[in-house]
Structure 1
Amino acid sequence: MKLSATIVAAISMAILGAYSCKKMSEKLEKEVLDGKRSGVSSIQAVIPYNWGSVAIGGGGYITGLAIHPNTANRMYARTDVGGAYRWDGTNQRWIPILDGISTIRVDGMALDANAPNRVYLALNDGVYRSDDQGGNWTKLMSTTYDGNGDLRWIGECLSVDSLTSTVVYAGTRTDGLYRSTNTGAAWTKITSVPNGTKGVRTVVTDPSTAVSGRSAKVYAGVPGTGIYRSTDGGTTFTAMAGAPTSPNRMVVMGGKLYVAHSTGVTVWNGSTWTDITPAGGTNKNYCGIAVETYDHNKIAVSQRYSSFNNPLYRSANGGTSWEQMNTAALPIVKTLEAPWWPSGWFSSATSCLAFDPLHHGDLYYSDWFGVWFSSNAWATGSVAFTTRIKGDEETVVLTLASAPGGVPLYSGVADVFGFRHDNVDVYPSARLYNINEGFSISYCETQPANIAILGASGNDGTGTILATSSNSGTSWTTRTLPSGVKLGRICISSTNPDKMVYIAGGSPGGGVYYSTNRGSSWAASTGAPTGAVNAIDVWSKDFSITADCVDGNKFYIYKTGFLYASTDGGATWSQQNATAIPNKNSYLFVAARPGTANEVWVSLDGNGLYKTTNGGTTFTKVTALTTCTAFAWGAPASGGSTPTLFAYGTVGGIKGLYRSTNLGAGWDQIDNGTQKFPAGVKALAGDRTVFGKVYVGTGGRGVLYGQP
């Protein structure tokens, strides 16, 4: 099949996306032109979209940092669920480097001292290498890692011999230690290092002596088992007597091995172990450790607990004496880039410390919510730290909403609740609500300043609350919920914000309730299906309720193939369709069409997208979409009245993000074939004011937005 010149030109322009990957864009164009993709005629065009991140600012766990030993502006950060980033020193921001591949849970990383542009990552399905600072990736070895698993904050499990680029070590979670002598092309298992119960989590080389052109001494840390040493260039290893049983991080400097471990800090000088744990901090869990390259007597260490203000220590005499940097008597001077960040977040579950080897005194550390930086860790008195989070967007999105003619975007996210985004390129001034988890947001279609939210203090729904606002979230009124309920979904009438319906969560799911006074009191509905929100935690994707966009008394609930409707504000319900449509495959989203009464659309993930135009009596399938994980309505095209439909699903055998301006009859692909959404699409929202603009909530890369 031949495509028009317009379509070919559109495909060619796709590489202009902010996070585009040239190689994959060229592949997409070639496959379309060659007609190799089955059903490609179902796609009308590939529309060039520019992609960026909604500015939130940190929010997720940075589990490690790596700074190149001899080349400036080569720093990387790894995260548990949000990929990896490269630091752009010129623009002072982080650049995501894994948006073009399909797995982004990072369990380890390593840099090559002799190849400044090379970086290795341990992803959930194996070891990868990039030779261009993360622009393109080659998979080197298949093995199992767990970037979001236990002890993800320790490491690094990968190491490149600083004497030669050809030798690379890979500690694994379940299969011991491997070595490559050809830059990762082939691997040999080192059987003399046991896997233990936690895997080989830390590997470092000591270049002070050499054998066959590589470092003779290599150290491998096995948590719960100890440290193993090789003196023959990594061919054989033996257990080190007297070594810490559970090493967390190790640094080699000047022929010495420095170890932060589960009960302190220890140094090996080649023949003897010496305990250098800070006084008053003995028998504590230490994770971060860093040593200055220009003066090996200058050391920084940190404890790691699942709490805030974990102690940070500095020593200028090799660990003979220490000074804690963050105490009441000697407080840290903090500068926060994102205004919504609580000051108390400092040093939270601290994972890594790193000195910049080319700039004396420059100290970085990573923790639960981002990266911090001090330009003078050796300053007399208080040490000044600032966050370095620009471009670091690692939140797990639970829900999104875009109101017509109102706030462009509301987000509900894990751990930090969510935000009102008046400008997607500017950090929000405050969280939407001061509780941890924000998992349901609803607004009144004709009076969009009226919104309601559900949140909880725990991801299991502990402390579930309902709050309403009549001024787009500027201020809130806490409401009641029926006794004993948790989790669930809230839905506001399209014309009367006093009318709301609540579906309780839990497992196997709870009942349905309605309110006529904005949540001040509730009554149980009759005839409604129970268990429509089968939620044991805030990550449930049972978005099973919607309000008719024209009739303010009408609500809809989907449950296992059937649509139920209420015409009296949620008081009574009845099943509408006699013949069931398929059940959800996994994710479930139900939404009424803006501006049209009695029209409801239901996405069933692997079972596709369905719609009813008669209130649920009959349904038709949108046949072009063979799968539909999520969908959302957006503003119509200029001069039109038909809302734009966005969907993440499969068209013509191609999984991607699509938009339709004719109610699903035809689809344009808008992810350019290069924006992979590797953290998963967890929510969609079309901008209700700006045509073509769409927001994508991910499972670790925050909220992305795209526009033509």
Structure 2
Amino acid sequence: MFFRSYLMKRNLLSFVLLIAVSLRTAVNAQVHSEPYQWKSVQMRGGGFVDGVIYHPTEKNLLYCRTDMGGAYKWNEAIKAWEPLLDWVSYNDRNLMGVESIALDANNPNRVYMACGTYTSIRFPNAILRSDDRGKTFKRTDVPFRMGGNENGRGNGERMAVDPNNGNIIYMATRLDGLWKSEDAGVTWNRVNNFPEVKIPVADTIIIPKARYHPRPNGMIFVVFDPKSKADKKSANIYVGISQKGKENLFRSTDGGATWAPIPGEPTDLMPTHAILSADGSLYITYGTNPGPDVMTDGAVYKFNISNGAWTNITPLKPQPENQQGFGYAAVAVDPQHPQTVIVSTFHRYGKAGGDDIFRSLDAGTTWKPVFTGGGDGKFDYTDAPYVSHTPIHWLFDLEIDPFNSDHAIFTTGYGLHETFDLTDVDKGKPTTWGTKNKGIEETVALELLSPPKGVPLISAIGDYGGFVHNNLDEPAPEGNFINPHFANTDGVTCGAQNSDVVVRVGVGSSQVGGGNIGYSLDGGKTWQPTTSAPQRGSKDGFICVSALGNTWIWTPQRSAPYVTTDKGATWKQIATLPNNTRVIADPLNDAKFYAMDLFNGKLYTSTDNGSTFTEQDFHLPNGLPDRASNRGDIRGGQDRLYAAPGKEGDLWIADFDGLYHAKKGSADFEKINGVTEIHGFGFGKAAPKSNYSALYLAGTINGVDGIFRSDDKGKNWVRINDDIHRWSLILQITGDPKKYGRVYVGTHGRGTFYGDISQSK
């Protein structure tokens, strides 16, 4: 459109010269990059680690999977987890939910990952295979759907390698039956002779004020019997199905040629986990739902594969009729002692008494609790202090180290716990469990604030509130936000000229202070809730603070904006703004605020401390965007209005489809050439000899997706990440106003990173 009007006003030669300059600029932007050093901002854990997989024959070789944050391999030398999927791009973001991990018992170098976050999304599902322990992967896109972040994600393992033939792999899927590879994961075919299983949607889950209808969970585990070798493969194979009221455990005794349900199997509950001991006992845990939704009943059974006998070995029977209902989620056997078994309860809350692990030395005849009922297990939160605010939940996998009977690991909704004194349970002594989260960063960044003065970063995250990061390389010793304590923190901001005033909003809890808004007058050292809220139930939404910190404007979720000038003691509705409008503060003028209706082309300005806003039309060179088009993740930094630091009235629009800068003294915006997609946008300290803040952008520029910095208001950009640091979906990005070149990147499930210009460049 620009070029068309230019031709009408200039001669052809000028146009050709303009094209040449534009092409040269685009090419330079495509190839120009700047090396950066990237590190994780240390929070540790913060998400559901739903499976741990030990290699059976190599010491200290283990992996873990997460529901939306990729997978990790343990590095014993540095005592930390190493991420394996940081190379996943935005277009392949569905691969970050890892449905299952499988290892080759006879080749420690081989690892397989079944990757797909949601069954309902059209994005790729793939089997990733590695011959170098996850350093590099080859990929096969597969037609079967996966749900790494759906109900039943803690079940498993759904994928398994035949211990008698490393080329044979089975994959039990949620919606598309049983699949098999005979060439080490390169190609896959459906096992058509497996009985057709029509799996209904799981029971409706009733939670306060809502009903949730989970998607079908399908087949949940494949277990081989390594002692049943026949014709260069395992003869006996077991497959579990997440259903009740009908057969849910099938077996083949001829290497997969035929399949049949096992006689006498329990069908009143659905299986959740299974493991085969070396002495021929198949242990299975059961519940009323796949989890991590509510379970109201459960059991543990043992199946003798030699004589076909079933035995109910449930440690503690749930009593749903007495409001003491719960299920059983995980089971593990000590490889060195096949009659030593541990199992975990699930959703044993309230009157039931709290989730626990039970341990048996006699194949389930008798049990001892680890935590409750006299178990008295203890916790060490040193590695991740925020965990002290959060009780055990989603304990969905248990593993005993194949080389150390004292060492065990269990999963939770915030990471992992481990002990090195498990056998103390047998002596009636308490065990001690520390977090094993170093290297795992699975939080979702909902807002990032780097104040002009004070701490490097204050993070707002999902599920665990957020942190004040005095030291980016160590977890906050005081843990996550309290007084009030939030689950999600949706917004956090400070006064641009007075960063002592910090305000955050989100969803509160009953822990340490109530309400859904909190503030600090000392840069985040201490917090307190406001004495009132705009209206009953105000939560989430957008928050802004005036330049000097005197005025706050909060737009709660699905609400009108409200303003306070007395630290939340009283609130006044802003009648001149539409509902759900995000307001931002001018960084210099304490009385000035701005807001935008992007899709209707309306810019709102207040010069009276937010009491009233005036409306004017604004224009974009390519027209206004279509609200119905793909706009990226709604929690991201796109489709927002921004104010440049240190300038009055200097506005930017980070549209999902492009970047725009307001013409001085005008409501018209100029398009920044080359930017075609934005997921996050922010400002940082200006480059040396520059008087304008550096720009940071996560998105696509000149056909290249990545993370970019501009030191000249968007005329030129450098890509500052590389193809091994992509992190799938990025939601937030901001520079540090105190240090040139430093940038903070908030991801969807891989935590928050900070980057600095590499000193070795």
Question: What is the TM-score when the length of structure 1 is the normalising length?
Answer: 0.88
Change over 3 Å in CA distance of 1:336–1:194 after alignment to 2? farther
1:703 aligns with 2:752: yes
What secondary structure sits across from 1:425 in the alignment? coil
Change over 3 Å in CA distance of 1:90–1:407 after alignment to 2? same
Change over 3 Å in CA distance of 1:343–1:442 after alignment to 2? closer
1:155 aligns with 2:147: no
What secondary structure sits across from 2:731 in the alignment? strand
Do 1:190 and 1:236's aligned partners in 2 also have CA atoms closer than 8 Å?
Answer: no
Describe the superposition over 1:477-516 as per-residue Cα deviations: whole angstroms up to 9, x where unpaired. 3222212443321111113x1212222321xxx3222222
For 2:309, the aligned partner's letter is T
What secondary structure sits across from 2:339 in the alignment? coil
Do 2:168 and 2:182's aligned partners in 1 also have CA atoms closer than 8 Å?
Answer: yes
In the alignment, the residues of structure 2 paired with residue 141 and residue 598 of structure 1 have an alpha-carbon distance, to the nearest angstrom, of 49
Quote the residue 1:269 is aligned against.
304
Quote the residue 1:391 is aligned against.
439
Unaligned runs of 5+ in 2: 1-22, 117-124, 200-216, 288-297, 320-324, 633-637
Do 2:550 and 2:590's aligned partners in 1 also have CA atoms closer than 8 Å?
Answer: no
Quote the residue 2:128 is aligned against.
128
In the alignment, the residues of structure 2 paired with residue 616 and residue 477 of structure 1 have an alpha-carbon distance, to the nearest angstrom, of 40
1:219 to 224, 238, 253: 238
What secondary structure sits across from 1:449 in the alignment? strand
What secondary structure sits across from 2:533 in the alignment? coil
In the alignment, the residues of structure 2 paired with residue 567 and residue 236 of structure 1 have an alpha-carbon distance, to the nearest angstrom, of 77
Do 1:444 and 1:451's aligned partners in 2 also have CA atoms closer than 8 Å?
Answer: yes
Describe the superposition over 1:317-369 as per-residue Cα deviations: whole angstroms up to 9, x where unpaired. 11110011112523112211345334464542201011111122211111111
Quote the residue 2:556 is aligned against.
504
What secondary structure sits across from 1:378 in the alignment? helix
Change over 3 Å in CA distance of 1:457–1:518 after alignment to 2? closer
1:477-488 aligned at under 5 Å gives the runs 477-479=528-530, 480-484=532-536, 485-488=538-541
1:200 aligns with 2:219: yes
In the alignment, the residues of structure 1 paired with residue 133 and residue 642 of structure 2 have an alpha-carbon distance, to the nearest angstrom, of 42
Do 1:47 and 1:672's aligned partners in 2 also have CA atoms closer than 8 Å?
Answer: no
In the alignment, the residues of structure 1 paired with residue 552 and residue 389 of structure 2 have an alpha-carbon distance, to the nearest angstrom, of 37
In the alignment, the residues of structure 2 paired with residue 627 and residue 229 of structure 1 have an alpha-carbon distance, to the nearest angstrom, of 50
2:50 to 30, 54, 63: 63
Describe the superposition over 1:225-259 as per-residue Cα deviations: whole angstroms up to 9, x where unpaired. 41110011122211112224321111112232111
Change over 3 Å in CA distance of 1:666–1:59 after alignment to 2? same
Residue 186 of structure 1: how far off its partner (Å): 2.3
Quote the residue 1:468 is aligned against.
519
Describe the superposition over 1:35-68 as per-residue Cα deviations: whole angstroms up to 9, x where unpaired. x999433347211111121100111111001000
What secondary structure sits across from 1:41 in the alignment? helix
In the alignment, the residues of structure 2 paired with residue 61 and residue 309 of structure 1 have an alpha-carbon distance, to the nearest angstrom, of 19
Percent identical: 30
1:551 aligns with 2:589: yes
Do 2:326 and 2:348's aligned partners in 1 also have CA atoms closer than 8 Å?
Answer: no
In the alignment, the residues of structure 1 paired with residue 162 and residue 578 of structure 2 have an alpha-carbon distance, to the nearest angstrom, of 62
Quote the residue 1:565 is aligned against.
605
1:256 aligns with 2:256: no
1:290-305 aligned at under 5 Å gives the runs 290-305=332-347
In the alignment, the residues of structure 2 paired with residue 501 and residue 318 of structure 1 have an alpha-carbon distance, to the nearest angstrom, of 61
1:600 aligns with 2:651: yes
What secondary structure sits across from 1:685 in the alignment? strand
1:278 aligns with 2:315: yes
Change over 3 Å in CA distance of 1:628–1:452 after alignment to 2? same
Do 2:458 and 2:466's aligned partners in 1 also have CA atoms closer than 8 Å?
Answer: yes
Residue 467 of structure 1: how far off its partner (Å): 1.8
Describe the superposition over 1:7-57 as per-residue Cα deviations: whole angstroms up to 9, x where unpaired. xxxxxxxxxxxxxxxxxxxxxxxxxxxxx9994333472111111211001
Residue 284 of structure 1: how far off its partner (Å): 4.7
Change over 3 Å in CA distance of 1:677–1:342 after alignment to 2? closer
For 2:436, the aligned partner's letter is R
What secondary structure sits across from 2:28 in the alignment? helix
What secondary structure sits across from 2:155 in the alignment? coil
Quote the residue 2:252 is aligned against.
230
In the alignment, the residues of structure 1 paired with residue 751 and residue 678 of structure 2 have an alpha-carbon distance, to the nearest angstrom, of 21
In the alignment, the residues of structure 1 paired with residue 430 and residue 645 of structure 2 have an alpha-carbon distance, to the nearest angstrom, of 56
Which 10-residue stretch deviates more, 39-48 or 568-577?
39-48
Quote the residue 1:23 is aligned against.
none
Question: What is the TM-score when the length of structure 2 is the normalising length?
Answer: 0.82
What secondary structure sits across from 1:359 in the alignment? coil
Query: Structure 1 residue runs of 4+, over 6 Å off?
Result: none
For 2:337, the aligned partner's letter is D
What secondary structure sits across from 1:144 in the alignment? coil
Change over 3 Å in CA distance of 1:550–1:347 after alignment to 2? closer
What secondary structure sits across from 2:754 in the alignment? strand
In the alignment, the residues of structure 1 paired with residue 575 and residue 346 of structure 2 have an alpha-carbon distance, to the nearest angstrom, of 52
In the alignment, the residues of structure 1 paired with residue 710 and residue 348 of structure 2 have an alpha-carbon distance, to the nearest angstrom, of 46
For 1:675, the aligned partner's letter is H
Change over 3 Å in CA distance of 1:604–1:70 after alignment to 2? same
Residue 691 of structure 1: how far off its partner (Å): 1.0
Do 1:37 and 1:653's aligned partners in 2 also have CA atoms closer than 8 Å?
Answer: no
In the alignment, the residues of structure 2 paired with residue 574 and residue 345 of structure 1 have an alpha-carbon distance, to the nearest angstrom, of 46
Unaligned runs of 5+ in 1: 1-35, 533-543
Do 1:600 and 1:616's aligned partners in 2 also have CA atoms closer than 8 Å?
Answer: no
Change over 3 Å in CA distance of 1:140–1:242 after alignment to 2? farther
2:724 to 671, 674, 696: 674
Describe the superposition over 1:421-479 as per-residue Cα deviations: whole angstroms up to 9, x where unpaired. 11110101221231211111110011111111112138xxxx86222211012222322
Change over 3 Å in CA distance of 1:487–1:345 after alignment to 2? closer
2:63 to 76, 86, 95: 76
For 2:722, the aligned partner's letter is N
Quote the residue 2:203 is aligned against.
none
In the alignment, the residues of structure 2 paired with residue 481 and residue 196 of structure 1 have an alpha-carbon distance, to the nearest angstrom, of 50
1:340-379 aligned at under 5 Å gives the runs 340-343=385-388, 345=390, 347-379=392-424
Do 1:175 and 1:195's aligned partners in 2 also have CA atoms closer than 8 Å?
Answer: no
Describe the superposition over 1:186-221 as per-residue Cα deviations: whole angstroms up to 9, x where unpaired. 223223243442211110100111121111000000
Do 2:444 and 2:749's aligned partners in 1 also have CA atoms closer than 8 Å?
Answer: yes
1:649 to 699, 702, 707: 699
For 1:50, the aligned partner's letter is Q
Quote the residue 2:468 is aligned against.
420
For 1:573, the aligned partner's letter is F
Change over 3 Å in CA distance of 1:685–1:195 after alignment to 2? farther
In the alignment, the residues of structure 2 paired with residue 427 and residue 120 of structure 1 have an alpha-carbon distance, to the nearest angstrom, of 32
In the alignment, the residues of structure 1 paired with residue 392 and residue 603 of structure 2 have an alpha-carbon distance, to the nearest angstrom, of 49
Residue 109 of structure 1: how far off its partner (Å): 1.1
Which 10-residue stretch deviates more, 681-690 or 609-618?
609-618
In the alignment, the residues of structure 2 paired with residue 71 and residue 144 of structure 1 have an alpha-carbon distance, to the nearest angstrom, of 32
What secondary structure sits across from 2:135 in the alignment? coil
In the alignment, the residues of structure 2 paired with residue 320 and residue 273 of structure 1 have an alpha-carbon distance, to the nearest angstrom, of 13
Do 2:30 and 2:704's aligned partners in 1 also have CA atoms closer than 8 Å?
Answer: no
For 1:163, the aligned partner's letter is N
1:108 aligns with 2:133: no
Do 1:39 and 1:653's aligned partners in 2 also have CA atoms closer than 8 Å?
Answer: no
For 1:452, the aligned partner's letter is V
What secondary structure sits across from 2:603 in the alignment? strand
Change over 3 Å in CA distance of 1:279–1:419 after alignment to 2? closer
Quote the residue 1:640 is aligned against.
690
1:614 aligns with 2:664: yes
In the alignment, the residues of structure 1 paired with residue 189 and residue 282 of structure 2 have an alpha-carbon distance, to the nearest angstrom, of 25
Quote the residue 1:524 is aligned against.
573
1:242 to 255, 264, 274: 264
Do 2:44 and 2:384's aligned partners in 1 also have CA atoms closer than 8 Å?
Answer: no
Do 2:409 and 2:419's aligned partners in 1 also have CA atoms closer than 8 Å?
Answer: yes
In the alignment, the residues of structure 1 paired with residue 443 and residue 176 of structure 2 have an alpha-carbon distance, to the nearest angstrom, of 31
